[in-house]
Structure 1
């Protein structure tokens, strides 16, 4: 299969293009450029979600703590540098070292130690909106960022001193840089993408399952770039692989003792999205975004492939935890925004 804008449909003649792209997502073999808009509108598309996320995150970030899940971060903040490297899970050492350095500069209050998570989620909301704006237009970008900011789990993990907010930001950054690298695979863009993979793996090694979704995107749409992409990934995963090897050598556990039972899988939408009803709505909207145009397919692979990969891995190793999939939230939010805009466009055309 040659690189193409769709996986299934043959190359259409110009007269047929409108039938292939009824929502105006842009023709051609590279991601379609949205219509020209004013700079103010383009800035507002990412600034408004960022401000929403910052406000929602700060509401309870200074609340009483630490919560049970935050105890390791508080321990790291008040320990010596040497102690951090000798206790806890090896794979969590990069985050604990970051928290130790952060505490050195800003103190160990609840608000201070949750600051990295607040900043990471705020930056993630802005980047979610900016990337969706580039792929679909500012209206979709603004809506995607707003949906992401309003998800209950976005605010929750922004208010906790855990690595998941930073992991989510790294996943958004890696996917945004992947899109740039696939559009024009220069050396510097591939190096930037490889650096984002390093960051992703150091934040949380399980989040590297995002690369399975990236792999699907590359081999489905940009096979000519596959060798260079594989080289960037191979270098990018080395630090996380070294940490994982060290953790296995020390007999450390990567995650919980849970295998994905039918009960745990049934609870996943509520735990991942904060409310089961919210998860049901987003999943339903995402189904409307599944036609395999390049732009929507990138997000579909980001949203759906890592959970399936984790499910397969968890059959052999008990590492199933819903929060490990938090990095897929931006993809679900964007697919929901795409569906809503498409529905509005279809209603307008009737």
Structure 2
């Protein structure tokens, strides 16, 4: 009896996907691997930083400082501003310089983080989109805690990624320090930890215990300050609003500068929500803190769009992920559209918001 012929089947591409990549996507398919060079990695942070820096300088010294600006810098403000004004003076431009530097650095680190998690092209696009948002320029030109808060949020997320990728004591210590700075800049920004916790428990449960300890210790000083402030007679931690439909409808305009820009970024974000870890990090960053704030606001009227400014880098990056999959001409068209939509507000972002509610600048941990 003859043995049956052996049939050799060609090996097909594996359909098995990892837990962190359930849709079968890998980190290199959003951009041509040939672009993953040192030159493009430098461009991913340098171009956004140059663009953001240039936009920050447009009419940065006018108008003069408002009464609200110096009073809302949070717990780190008094020492920082005293040192800064003694060194460079108290003119409008000099007083706003820390915010301008912080937002410019944030644009650069947005590019660095997105390039690490996706590809240099995504990092470049993310940083450029962030720079083109009118609110980025607005708070770069105000003596407010929000610019430093955005930078601290970007750094905290970057250090979280580094810590969970290689969980060493040093990396978790740096992450804890960034959480400490985040809370001291703006207490409500600690809502970011809800998004970080989702990421850790979803993808790196093995380090969840260490993350909880570090996050708790980093957030403790700002949380304690908020509690003490709330116990003072007549103190008000935040002068916000109840999240009515009208208030929620106005949030995209306050958060992105122009309502249409919020719609554009939301639509782009819908095209960048595969369940892989890289996109999930930004989805949790963009979505979880607003949901937590919304729940808290059901009990006390603390809803303010400014409390969510630290989510702007996540929205910008989700939009960049979608754009990176498009052809260059479509990508350029969307960027031009974003620039045009925000152009009228970019001319003088502070004047466009003079009719903001009186509580719009409140809520710093150290008020």
TM-score normalised to the size of structure 1? Answer: 0.84
Q: Any idea what the Cα deviations from partners look like across 1:272-319, whole Å, max 9, x if unmatched?
A: 001111100100111111111000000000000001111111111221
> For residues 4-153 of structure 1, what are the structure 2 equivalents within 5 Å?
15-16=14-15, 24-25=26-27, 37-72=36-71, 92-153=74-135
**Hey, what's the Cα distance between the residues in 2 that align with 1:71 and 1:229?**
35
Which residue of structure 2 lines up, in the alignment, with residue 261 of structure 1?
244
Residues 290-329 of structure 1 aligned to structure 2 (within 5 Å): 290-329=273-312
2:136 alignment partner, one of 145, 148, 154: 154
Shift of 1:256: 1.1
> 2-side partners of 1:235 and 1:147: how far apart?
34
Is the contact made by 1:201 and 1:237 (CA closer than 8 Å) also made in structure 2? yes
Offset of residue 23 of structure 1: 5.2
The answer to whether the 8 Å contact 2:164/2:207 transfers is yes
Contact 2:192 2:289 in 1 (8 A): yes
Find the counterpart in structure 2 of residue 176 from structure 1. Answer: 158
Partners of 2:320 and 2:16 in 1: CA distance: 23
Q: Quick check: 2:195–2:288 contact (8 Å CA) kept in 1?
A: yes
Contact 1:282 1:333 in 2 (8 A): yes
So what's the TM-score if we normalise by structure 2? 0.81
Looking at structure 1, the residues matched to 52 and 35 of structure 2 have their Cα atoms a distance apart, in angstroms, of 27
Confirm whether residue 202 of structure 1 aligns to residue 184 of structure 2.
yes
For CA contacts below 8 A with separation 6 or more, give which structure has more relative contact order: 2
Q: Which has the larger radius of gyration?
A: 2
C-alpha displacement of 1:38: 2.5
The structure in which a higher percent of residues are helix is 1
Q: Summarize the Cα distance change of 1:238–1:35 in structure 2 as closer, same or farther, 3 Å threshold.
A: farther
Distance in 2 of aligned mates of 1:193 and 1:257 = 30
Counterparts of 1:112 and 1:186, CA distance in 2? 39
- 8 Å Cα contact 1:23/1:342 also seen in 2: no
Give the paired residue count.
314
- In the TM superposition, residue 45 of structure 1 has moved relative to its aligned partner by 1.2
Paired with 1:68 and 1:304, the residues of 2 have a C-alpha distance of: 33
Once the two structures are TM-superposed, the CA of residue 22 in structure 1 deviates from its matched residue by 5.9
Partner of 1:215: 197
Do the aligned partners of residues 265 and 68 (structure 1) sit closer, same or farther apart at CA in structure 2, a change above 3 Å counting?
Answer: farther
Show the counterpart of 2:207. Answer: 225
In structure 1, the partner of 2:323 is: 340
Question: How far apart, CA to CA, are the structure 1 residues paired with 2:86 and 2:228?
Answer: 27
Query: What SS class does the counterpart of residue 234 from structure 1 fall into?
Result: helix
SS in 2 for 1:161: coil
Residues of 2 paired with 1:281 and 1:50: CA distance?
Answer: 23
* Secondary structure in 2 matching 1:237: helix
Matched, 1:289 2:291: no
